[in-house]
Amino acid sequence: MAKARKHNYKKKAGQVPGTAIYTGSKSSEKLFIEVFDYNETQFTEKHLTDVSETFQFKGSDSITWVNLNGLNHVKEIEKLSKHFNFHPLVLEDIVNISQRPKIDEYEDYFFVVLKMLYYDKDEKIISEQVSFILGKNHVLSFQESEGDVFDAVRERIRTAKGRVRTMESDYLLYVLIDAVVDYYFNIIEILGDKIEDFETDIFNGNATDDVSQNIQNLKREILKVRRAIFPLREVINRIEKSDNALISKQTLNYYRDVYDHLIQVSENIDIYREMIWSLMDMYMTTISNKMNEVMKVLTIMASIFIPLTFIAGIYGMNFDYIPELHYQHSYFILWGVMIVIFIGMLIYFKKKKWL
Amino acid sequence: MAKARKHNYKKKAGQVPGTAIYTGSKSSEKLFIEVFDYNETQFTEKHLTDVSETFQFKGSDSITWVNLNGLNHVKEIEKLSKHFNFHPLVLEDIVNISQRPKIDEYEDYFFVVLKMLYYDKDEKIISEQVSFILGKNHVLSFQESEGDVFDAVRERIRTAKGRVRTMESDYLLYVLIDAVVDYYFNIIEILGDKIEDFETDIFNGNATDDVSQNIQNLKREILKVRRAIFPLREVINRIEKSDNALISKQTLNYYRDVYDHLIQVSENIDIYREMIWSLMDMYMTTISNKMNEVMKVLTIMASIFIPLTFIAGIYGMNFDYIPELHYQHSYFILWGVMIVIFIGMLIYFKKKKWL
Amino acid sequence: MAKARKHNYKKKAGQVPGTAIYTGSKSSEKLFIEVFDYNETQFTEKHLTDVSETFQFKGSDSITWVNLNGLNHVKEIEKLSKHFNFHPLVLEDIVNISQRPKIDEYEDYFFVVLKMLYYDKDEKIISEQVSFILGKNHVLSFQESEGDVFDAVRERIRTAKGRVRTMESDYLLYVLIDAVVDYYFNIIEILGDKIEDFETDIFNGNATDDVSQNIQNLKREILKVRRAIFPLREVINRIEKSDNALISKQTLNYYRDVYDHLIQVSENIDIYREMIWSLMDMYMTTISNKMNEVMKVLTIMASIFIPLTFIAGIYGMNFDYIPELHYQHSYFILWGVMIVIFIGMLIYFKKKKWL
Amino acid sequence: MAKARKHNYKKKAGQVPGTAIYTGSKSSEKLFIEVFDYNETQFTEKHLTDVSETFQFKGSDSITWVNLNGLNHVKEIEKLSKHFNFHPLVLEDIVNISQRPKIDEYEDYFFVVLKMLYYDKDEKIISEQVSFILGKNHVLSFQESEGDVFDAVRERIRTAKGRVRTMESDYLLYVLIDAVVDYYFNIIEILGDKIEDFETDIFNGNATDDVSQNIQNLKREILKVRRAIFPLREVINRIEKSDNALISKQTLNYYRDVYDHLIQVSENIDIYREMIWSLMDMYMTTISNKMNEVMKVLTIMASIFIPLTFIAGIYGMNFDYIPELHYQHSYFILWGVMIVIFIGMLIYFKKKKWL
Amino acid sequence: MAKARKHNYKKKAGQVPGTAIYTGSKSSEKLFIEVFDYNETQFTEKHLTDVSETFQFKGSDSITWVNLNGLNHVKEIEKLSKHFNFHPLVLEDIVNISQRPKIDEYEDYFFVVLKMLYYDKDEKIISEQVSFILGKNHVLSFQESEGDVFDAVRERIRTAKGRVRTMESDYLLYVLIDAVVDYYFNIIEILGDKIEDFETDIFNGNATDDVSQNIQNLKREILKVRRAIFPLREVINRIEKSDNALISKQTLNYYRDVYDHLIQVSENIDIYREMIWSLMDMYMTTISNKMNEVMKVLTIMASIFIPLTFIAGIYGMNFDYIPELHYQHSYFILWGVMIVIFIGMLIYFKKKKWL
């Protein structure tokens, strides 16, 4: 991953500010554009591949959601940008996928960047950048590639379920952000499960040798998620505090609700973070406990047999005159003594709770 | 637990905002509604099962407390919600039990969510969500199921003890919140006892092998309690700061008092948190100390008998010419030498304080 | 201690707010009331047992300090409270000794709660709650039992030393708080000595087995002191910031001075806290160092004698044909070899700095 | 390095404030001055060695960038300083290279200090101080020695690429700062790679003995980078907040963009910091795991052979009457017994998962 | 040190506020007073021992610096205090040397307390309190004893170097504070060197047994320095923010400069602090690494010779019928077997990288 990033920065370094260069690695063959145009009574859905066909929706009275997939088609996006009159920095930020979540207020539009999080097949967290432009009667959204978390939203627009068809573009932006945030709950929940499984593994001694690296990876994942989610709180907060006419008083309650959800997710992340941080300690004590057990076995074996071997050694000596050697029952008496020592030792270790 | 949560989020994901779905697992067979209607001189108590019977109390001059138990009866609550004219998000939050404590101010009512904490039979902390609607002359409260911490409040209303019967609905909300907060003290106190017992166990070496997991569980419990209690401070603070006519100047002192209690609880939680965090270190030193002891036993046994065994080995050799073997007192002299070595070793270890 | 606390909370749970219940465990047989009434020229000191005798001092022109000892006499304090017209919550807080330091401003009086800290005979820190009511011409103080840190203040009033006799009641409150804060220095100083002694013990290996528990206790003590002292800064700060006529501009400098002292104490506490937190690490390295030493002794003994014993074993074998056995000087040559090995080992361990 | 620093401070101690003394160690033989003078249509580039030749550019209508290399030529810089009328403290700060990033606003110019970071050949991070003076129509920049990150900027001015030729001096300052910040991304990326490599090494056990020192060095590097980058956020923030006429409303968006980049870099630094801090723990568990393995080998060997040796010792004894010695198959039976013990031990250790 | 402190607090406890008692331990035989009286053209330097001779300088038009050494001469300082009309608390603070750095603004003078830090001969950090009174045309400074960091300032006044002779008393205060702050750089630099040396020692294994105590001492030193320096930032900040006429707009830039220096020092201190905190971890891994090495030696020796000794034991048995004993080459074959085992073991340990 580090290599990929290096590549990206290289692409950008020393560039004229406002230069639009796609810094991601996903390349869709074709630009894929969805358009949803609706008002309370009417609804149109179009799938386009040419940006110029979207130009007609600028300034229309109905609400329009233009969803672009394929940030590698920079030229096309530039065309759109020119028509909709974006600031050059906005265009640059849309295609530079290493943005942190942020909001830029311009006179007649809002530019919002956030991170869509989901798990891929290998249970690795993928973070995809999604940008939104909120204008008077339209929301433009930009994604790296097809596939997203907005299917329920599409369905709701099509079927006029909920109040989305009766509200303005600010409400549309809200439902899109809300869909992204709802997915965050999935992410942290799976993270929570991972941590618990991991804890159980460590405790049961099933942990393989790469425990410490797994913990390190978990830490990295948590930090990644944190970085995607935490700045979004500030973004939502600034939408709420903004007195721009684009955001109606009516939708504020909804943004407040998203904000509450984000706080909830954030709290969970911080709790998981603390839990992970203490997993290492837990693992350390497990190792030490195991070593204690190993040492006990060694000590018990050695403490019992070393003295006995010594006694046997004594009567293996070749002195001319060792009186015990010649008594008839010496050998059996010796066995008796050794068994007494053996049992004595066992009792001693039992009392010390080593057995 | 993780499984249950997963389930809940699944239920919600992609839903239209403002959709009321109960996310908890408790299902009461029947909705159970208590109504307390009172003023300084009169008092009525009713137990109902149909929400529509409560509609008459809206807008009455006397103070009414409507207490609903059974959030799984979403339909009924929706009816109530419509009559009392709640915002759809309020309805959604009442039945979604994964809220964090919060307050939403609407024009003519306050919506307060908090967590009622209590221990179940297994000494596990249960966190139940309770929502309050504070209106001009009424307080509505919503609980997952029957059983709560408000018995003393009920008694006080019935017997006109204290000033509750002489005050407005804002005071009623205060006494209900105060009852919940009073229970927090029980929680942290039992937590404190647990920590102390645990500390004693670790120190006395009575700690079983699952110490590190128990500590982890205790951490999790503290974090859970923290998450329930800390946001409530902000809630109370915003009630105090609010200049809404619903909160009279007279009751502000009482809310201030609850706030002080919450600060006290919070401080205790943070102290317990620090204590738990250092329990792991304490346990680690205990393990190391034990290992030290094990090692000492091994070292003492080995250091004493290995040299002696060596000596015995010498005189077990079969060389033709070993002069010592043929002296008459060799054997006894050797015993003498060995006893001297033995005692010397003991003195040496005594001096090192290993014995 | 935990048990005592549990008891206290139980006493309170579910009570009507504003109910005065003494939550401490000290019960003085009799209420003991001291009254100091003075102005620049006159001075009266009285020792009373009946609160009604203090009523005459309300509203007098001279400055009056009424000091009550014995919070278990709740009824009497209630009588006083009624005469002096306190808010019910004030009365409740005076006798509930688990308050954290705080200030409540009422229209014509200030209510201040703080903690008087001192060491008992066993060098355990005792925290006793003291409450003050600052009125126009009087200061009332409430203590759990007799015995306090105000003797120097009494003396100063009697002998008209310093400016206390020439100033208003706000200055009297200042000198009382100042006396309490002065004692904090004693507390932290003894704490500092304890930590240093402890450090020396650990370092010298004189530490007994309960080191980790002692450290835990020290932590607990620091946290207790912290909790008593830190909120007081906020209290003093609010007195300074208050624009109530009760606090004259002239005394502000003095309160500022107390504030500076509190900051000084707080800084010391935080430094001690850090020192204690690292004591555990220090202890851990001490244990590990000791284990290292033990291991070295074992390794040296075993490494030297095990090979030698092996050699002796070789020549104890009973093969028919072992040529070395029959050479005349074999035995002495073998001794030579063994001594060379022995010395070689010693040199080896010397070089490794294990000896 | 410590030695070098010591030297520098000595040079300065006790000096009159405002005394210009170069505190770095790089001495360029000659002062090297680049001048870029341009407007939308015209462009001049000059390479000078005498500061007085730059004086003509003060107050001209075209935008001028004067870039000085070689801070050891203090006298020359003083001349420039006098002509451009800097505050003595500005002059002092330009040549004192131990400044932290800061901005000082004067009436008609801004003084900005920041740190240019780059890796030298040994992959060591070099931090070079660069100071900027932003005046009405000019930007002066001061570097310790030749070689910088501004080549792309020079090219852009020469070729009129981007908007730099059409904007004021505030935009020129922005592109210069932006070039520096772009390099920060390289720095943190290489740091990230280092950490990951290091982690892999530790985990694979390839870590050499100086792991803990390498970690310590990495910590030091992170702290150094942090100290260079973090204060710059405040600098950019104050440029944004400033209402000085030098900064046009138009460029604010660009400074906002740099600010966002800095936040991004800062977040990465803090993540890397956390990762490094936990590397030590990871290393510690690796060590403990290794010791566990060593102990297991020892314990297995000792536990197996010590009892067997004891048995052999028994039958090496010279008692007159040991019946087993004279049975014909004793020797082979004994071998059988010993093999059974041997295999039993192996099974035991297998079950304990030590093998 | 603790003992000394105890003594000091005892001296003060229960005293009337505003009582001047010297709490230090340095007693100069005589009060030593330096007076520098100057304006742009004239300059007088006097060395006095009687405070009353300084009274003439109050209210003169020229700038006067009165520097008193010897705080044990409380009576004399009281006389001065009365003449210059200080608040009693100021007098108390001058001679009570356990102040933390602070500033008190009075109507016509500023009272500033700070800590002068320097190393004594034993490389121990000495913290000496210096107090300043800044009046209209004079600065009074109070030191415990002779010897300070102001020699360069004296020289500058005498020789009219820099701008000190042309500026007001606020600039004089600045140069004095600046001289103290310049010395802080020396302090932290030596601290930095100590830490680096220490790190090298630990890493090279040259660390003696008192490492953990040395680290603890270093921690204590850092905390001491921190406590002396950090509050000074607030002091300087309040001078800057003050709109008192005593501070002219012209000198604000200079105070800003001192502030920047303090921030720089503070950052360094915090970096050193982090480095020290991780030294303990580093030491811990060093210990564990050493133990690992010890264990390896033991394990290798034991694993090689224990099996060999067992084999030798076998053929030392006295069974009547051990066929191997009677073959002619048995003995040499056995040696062969044992050498093969020996070499096999060596290869095994080599492969495990223990050798």
pLDDT (tens digit per residue) in E76-98: 999 999 999 999 899 999 998 88
CB contact under 8 A, D196 and A87: no
Q: What is the pLDDT of residue A306?
A: 93
Give residue C318's pLDDT band: very low, low, confident or very high (50, 70, 90).
Answer: very high
Give residue E14's pLDDT band: very low, low, confident or very high (50, 70, 90).
Answer: low
A297, pLDDT greater than 60: yes
> Which residues in chain A have Cβ-Cβ distances shorter than 8 Å to D196?
2
Summarised one tens digit per residue, pLDDT across range A18-51 is 777 888 777 777 889 999 999 999 999 999 988 8
Give residue C1's pLDDT band: very low, low, confident or very high (50, 70, 90).
Answer: very low
CB contact under 8 A, D291 and E286: no
Lowest mean pLDDT among A225-229, B285-289, C1-5, E108-112: C1-5
Q: For A258, which residue in chain B has the nearest alpha carbon? A: B17
Show which of residues 274-313 on chain B sit within 8 Å of chain C, judged by CB atoms.
274-275, 278, 281-282, 284-286, 288-289, 291-292, 295-296, 298-299, 302-303, 306-307, 309-310, 313
Spacing of C-alpha E47 from chain mean position: 32
D226, pLDDT greater than 80: yes
Nearest to C280 among B189, B278, B306 (CB): B278
Q: What is the pLDDT of residue E4?
A: 38
Q: Token digits for E87?
A: 């608040």
Summarised one tens digit per residue, pLDDT across range B57-109 is 887 889 999 999 999 899 999 999 999 999 989 999 999 988 899 999 998 89
Q: What is the pLDDT of residue D12?
A: 56
Q: Token digits for E270?
A: 């915090």
Look at residues D216, D191, D353 and name the one whose alpha carbon lies nearest to residue D283: D216
> Which residues in chain A have Cβ-Cβ distances shorter than 8 Å to D322?
331
> Which residues in chain D have Cβ-Cβ distances shorter than 8 Å to E282?
212-213, 215-216, 280
CA distances from C34 to C45, C83, C137, C147, C154 (A): 7, 18, 16, 12, 10
Determine contact: D197 vs chain A, CB below 8 A: no
Give residue B212's pLDDT band: very low, low, confident or very high (50, 70, 90).
Answer: confident
Number of H helices, E strands in chain A: 8, 7
Higher pLDDT, D7 or B331: B331
CA distances from E100 to C105, C222, D232, E104, E233 (A): 30, 21, 31, 12, 12
Domains, in order of start, for chain B = 16-285 (3.30.460.20), 292-351 (1.20.58.340)
Q: What is the pLDDT of residue E12?
A: 56
Q: What is the mean pLDDT of residues C167-173?
A: 94
Helix (H) or strand (E) holding A68: strand A63-69
Long-range contacts of C101-106 (CB under 8 A, 24+ apart): C101/C228, C101/C229, C101/C231, C101/C232, C101/C234, C101/C235, C102/B260, C102/C231, C102/C235, C103/C235, C103/C238, C103/C239, C104/B253, C104/B256, C105/C238, C105/C242, C105/C244
Greatest Cα pair distance, chain A, in angstroms, is 121
Determine contact: C256 vs chain E, CB below 8 A: yes
Question: Quick check: D66 and D78 in contact, CB under 8 A?
Answer: no
Q: For C335, which residue in chain B has the nearest alpha carbon? A: B314
Look at residues C117, D282, B303, C198 and name the one whose alpha carbon lies nearest to residue E213: C198
Summarised one tens digit per residue, pLDDT across range E65-75 is 999 999 989 99
Percentage of the residues of chain D whose pLDDT score is greater than 90: 54
Mutate to test the interface with B, among A256, A261, A273, A314 (most CBs of B within 10 A): A314
CB atoms near residue D346 (< 10 Å): 13
Q: What is the mean pLDDT of residues B331-348?
A: 95
CB contact under 8 A, D14 and E291: no
CA distances from B204 to B290, C215, D350 (A): 12, 15, 33
Cα torsion for B335, B340, B344, B350, to the nearest 10°? Answer: 80
Q: What is the pLDDT of residue D154?
A: 93
Show which of residues 74-113 on chain C sit within 8 Å of chain E, judged by CB atoms.
none
E10, pLDDT greater than 60: no
Q: What is the pLDDT of residue C78?
A: 92
Give residue B146's pLDDT band: very low, low, confident or very high (50, 70, 90).
Answer: confident
Summarised one tens digit per residue, pLDDT across range E246-271 is 999 889 989 999 999 999 999 999 99
Taking phi over 0 as left and psi of -120 to 50 as alpha, with beta for the rest, E70 belongs to left
Q: How far apart are CA D202 and CA D285, in angstroms?
A: 10
Q: For A191, which residue in chain B has the nearest alpha carbon? A: B2
Q: What is the mean pLDDT of residues B223-236?
A: 93
Task: Tell me what the pLDDT averaged over chain B comes to.
Answer: 88
Task: Tell me what the pLDDT averaged over chain E comes to.
Answer: 88
Higher pLDDT, C8 or D282: D282
Summarised one tens digit per residue, pLDDT across range D11-27 is 456 677 777 788 877 77
CB contact under 8 A, C2 and B196: yes
Look at residues C69, C52, C80 and name the one whose alpha carbon lies nearest to residue C130: C69
Q: How far apart are CA A228 and CA D264, in angstroms?
A: 11
A313: distance to nearest CA of chain B, Å?
Answer: 5
Q: For A4, which residue in chain D has the nearest alpha carbon? A: D189
A253's CB contacts (< 8 A; 6+ apart) are B87, B89, B104
Q: How far apart are CA A33 and CA A142, in angstroms?
A: 9
**Residues facing residue A103 across a β-bridge:** A112
Q: What is the mean pLDDT of residues C174-183?
A: 94
Summarised one tens digit per residue, pLDDT across range C59-104 is 788 999 999 999 989 999 999 999 999 998 999 999 998 889 999 9
Task: Tell me what the pLDDT averaged over chain A comes to.
Answer: 88
Q: What is the pLDDT of residue B2?
A: 37
Q: How far apart are CA B105 and CA B89, in angstroms?
A: 12
Give E208's DSSP letter.
-
Cα torsion for E310, E312, E313, E317, to the nearest 10°? Answer: 140
**CB environment C24-35: b (16+ within 10 A), e (fewer):** beeeeeebbbbb
D187: distance to nearest CA of chain A, Å?
Answer: 10
Q: What is the pLDDT of residue B231?
A: 94
Q: How far apart are CA A71 and CA C323, in angstroms?
A: 89
Summarised one tens digit per residue, pLDDT across range D110-168 is 999 999 998 888 878 889 999 999 999 999 999 988 888 899 899 999 998 888 899 99
Q: What is the pLDDT of residue C10?
A: 44
Q: What is the pLDDT of residue C209?
A: 66
Q: How far apart are CA B173 and CA B167, in angstroms?
A: 11
Percentage of the residues of chain C whose pLDDT score is greater than 70: 95
Q: How far apart are CA C66 and CA D318, in angstroms?
A: 97
Classify residue E29 by burial, with Cβ atoms within 10 Å: 0-12, 13-18, 19+.
Answer: exposed
Q: What is the pLDDT of residue A169?
A: 93
Summarised one tens digit per residue, pLDDT across range A47-77 is 998 888 888 888 788 999 999 999 989 999 9
Q: What is the pLDDT of residue D7?
A: 39
Q: What is the pLDDT of residue B6?
A: 41
Q: pTM here?
A: 0.85
Summarised one tens digit per residue, pLDDT across range C40-62 is 999 999 999 888 888 888 878 89
Q: Token digits for E269?
A: 């201190």
Q: What is the pLDDT of residue B213?
A: 82
Determine contact: A166 vs chain B, CB below 8 A: no
Q: What is the pLDDT of residue B317?
A: 93
Q: How far apart are CA E2 and CA C195, in angstroms?
A: 11
E6, pLDDT greater than 70: no
Determine contact: B48 vs chain A, CB below 8 A: no
D58, pLDDT greater than 90: no
Question: Quick check: C288 and D288 in contact, CB under 8 A?
Answer: no
